[in-house]
């Protein structure tokens, strides 16, 4: 029987769940959880999506993801494929790791978004030792919501949900903690949590990125930014064009919603594995080279204004 088409909307926010096949834990060790979050951060640099909440358990994980106009399937398929490769290599195994496709559901209302975030943050209640203190669980965004820890992953935009409670940070944290507790009917709050005030108010907004830019415009832009002749972008195995080709591939992947096969056709005579490698190099470049750190936003601003 064919699988049902996934419900998608370019303006939607999604509840995403990933789960392992029955006999294998999806995350055997904390290192595995760290690997998944680090890989998600790399994909975030490519696609510019937002993560509003998450919780990673042993055999499954929940996320609230705002693709910001990107294709949620491309994000999750690439991320899960890369993680499965990493997991199998680290644990010396072969074969499938994930149970079928990732599951996703469109978050249709603000009320559902709030309730969903509480549900996700209450997942650790099922773990021995966390039955009355889910905020102490390391691999959940709740600790960041409450100001107990900073977001070391750099993934999270907790402000989008927290500003629905109060723009004042301390008041929002107090109200959100009560809300999470209320959403678990069997739980009674027994101790106060200390709230830090490193922020004064929450401000977060959604701005959907149109992902239908012309790859020719991207090639021209990258050539100008890197000082490389545009024609040379189609010449492989040239050290002088490696940075430019990597940045061009990355922007096409992010802003044209191109598949690797589409980028192959654009460059000509290049494999999909090489395109994937170029995108990884591109992510590394924008992460480490100050000259290109904001190159995706720069392209968007210039070409959105010209449109």
CA 225 centroid distance within chain: 27
- Lowest average pLDDT, out of 12-16, 24-28, 99-103, 178-182, goes to 99-103
Residue 158 burial (CB count, 10 A): 23
Four-residue CA torsion sign, 246, 280, 210, 6: positive
Q: Residue 269 carries which DSSP code?
A: S
Answer for the pair 246, 238: CB distance below 8 angstroms, yes or no.
no
Query: Whole-model pTM?
Result: 0.83
- Angstrom distance (rounded) from CA 78 to CA 97: 14
For domain 14-182, the CATH class is alpha beta
104-121 pLDDT, tens digit each: 899 988 889 999 999 999
Instruction: Specify the pLDDT at position 290.
Output: 92
Helical H segments across 59-204, by residue range? 72-90, 110-121, 142-145, 159-162, 169-182
User: Residue length, the chain?
Assistant: 307
Q: Is the pLDDT of residue 53 over 50?
A: yes
Answer for the pair 185, 119: CB distance below 8 angstroms, yes or no.
no
Tokens of 143: 């600790």
Taking the chain, what is the end-to-end CA distance rounded to the nearest angstrom?
44
Q: Is the pLDDT of residue 5 over 50?
A: no
What is the residue extent of each domain of the chain? 14-182, 215-306
133-191 pLDDT, tens digit each: 899 999 999 999 999 999 988 999 999 999 999 888 899 999 999 999 888 644 434 34
Out of 1.10.1740, 3.30.9, 1.10.1750, 1.10.3470, which CATH number does the structure's domain 215-306 have?
1.10.1750
Instruction: Specify the pLDDT at position 23.
Output: 74
- Going by C-alpha positions, the residue among 171, 164, 120 that lies closest to residue 146 is 171
């Amino acid at each position: 029987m064919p699988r049902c088409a996934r419900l998608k909307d370019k303006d939607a926010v999604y509840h995403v769940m990933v789960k392992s096949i029955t006999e294998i834990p999806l995350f055997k060790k904390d290192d595995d959880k760290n690997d998944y979050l680090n890989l998600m951060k790399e994909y975030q640099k490519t696609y510019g999506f937002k993560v509003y909440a998450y919780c990673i358990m042993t055999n499954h994980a929940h996320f609230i993801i705002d693709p910001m106009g990107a294709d949620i399937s491309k994000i999750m398929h690439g991320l899960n494929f890369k993680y499965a490769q990493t997991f199998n290599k680290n644990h010396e195994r072969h074969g499938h790791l994930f149970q079928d496709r990732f599951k996703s559901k469109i978050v249709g209302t603000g009320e559902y978004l709030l309730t969903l975030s509480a549900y996700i943050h209450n997942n650790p209640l099922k773990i021995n030792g966390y039955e009355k203190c889910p905020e102490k669980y390391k691999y959940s965004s709740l600790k960041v919501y409450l100001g107990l820890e900073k977001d070391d992953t750099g993934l999270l935009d907790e402000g989008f949900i927290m500003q629905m409670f109060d723009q004042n940070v301390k008041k929002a944290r107090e109200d959100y903690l009560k809300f999470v507790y209320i959403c678990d009917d069997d739980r009674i709050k027994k101790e106060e949590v200390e709230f830090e005030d490193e922020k004064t108010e929450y401000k977060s907004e959604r701005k959907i990125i149109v992902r239908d830019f012309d790859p020719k415009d991207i090639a021209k832009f990258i050539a100008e930014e890197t000082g490389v002749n545009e024609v040379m972008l189609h010449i492989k195995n040239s050290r002088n064009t490696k940075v430019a080709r990597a940045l061009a591939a990355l922007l096409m992947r992010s802003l044209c919603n191109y598949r690797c096969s589409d980028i192959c056709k654009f460059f000509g005579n290049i494999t999909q594995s090489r395109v994937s490698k170029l995108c990884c190099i591109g992510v590394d470049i924008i992460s480490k080279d100050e000259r290109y750190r904001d190159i995706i936003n720069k392209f968007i601003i210039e070409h959105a204004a010209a449109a």
